[in-house]
Structure 1
């Protein structure tokens, strides 16, 4: 799905289609999601460790949190990117 959007975007640009200046490219959304999740996961790891006192359990919690919230953030960004309100 992401690759289809990236490929379609490059093909459309090459065929003279006008680029949408108000929309982010999917790759930008992915990189934003990754950078934000690294910060969020570090926070989750620290909080989980403080609450449980076990680094293994805290790491497991942070790992699951990283994956699920990365996916949720990406789709959240893509949906908001389609909303014209406030642009």
Structure 2
């Protein structure tokens, strides 16, 4: 079972990467740093929320999980 804090840290790190990539793509597509930045921030906010919920749902599903034995 994964703790919510771990899920949140994973989601934030993943979304920082996505923010950087989306900023670059937005800039390339629009030629505007501000428009690219706005696109990236909106995308990241939505993506972070959905990723966190997705991970929390999967943390409750035991299918395919193997418990580590000490």
Given the two structures, how large is their TM-score scaled by the length of structure 1? 0.73
Cα shift at 1:76: 0.3
Given the two structures, how large is their TM-score scaled by the length of structure 2? 0.90
Is there any run of 5+ residues in structure 2 with no aligned partner, and where?
A: 66-70
Q: Does 1:31 align with 2:9?
A: yes
Cα shift at 1:66: 1.1
Distance 1:55 1:74 in 2: 28
**Alignment partner for residue 43 of structure 2, among 65, 73, 80?**
65
Match of 1:78 in 2: 56
Cα shift at 1:81: 0.6
Greater than 4 Å deviation, 4+ residue runs: none
Is there any run of 5+ residues in structure 1 with no aligned partner, and where?
A: 1-22
Q: Please give the per-residue CA displacement for 1:10-65, whole angstroms capped at 9, x wherever unaligned.
A: xxxxxxxxxxxxx0000000000000000011110001100110001000001111
Distance 1:41 1:71 in 2: 14
- CA RMSD between the two structures: 0.5
Count of residue pairs brought into register by the alignment: 65
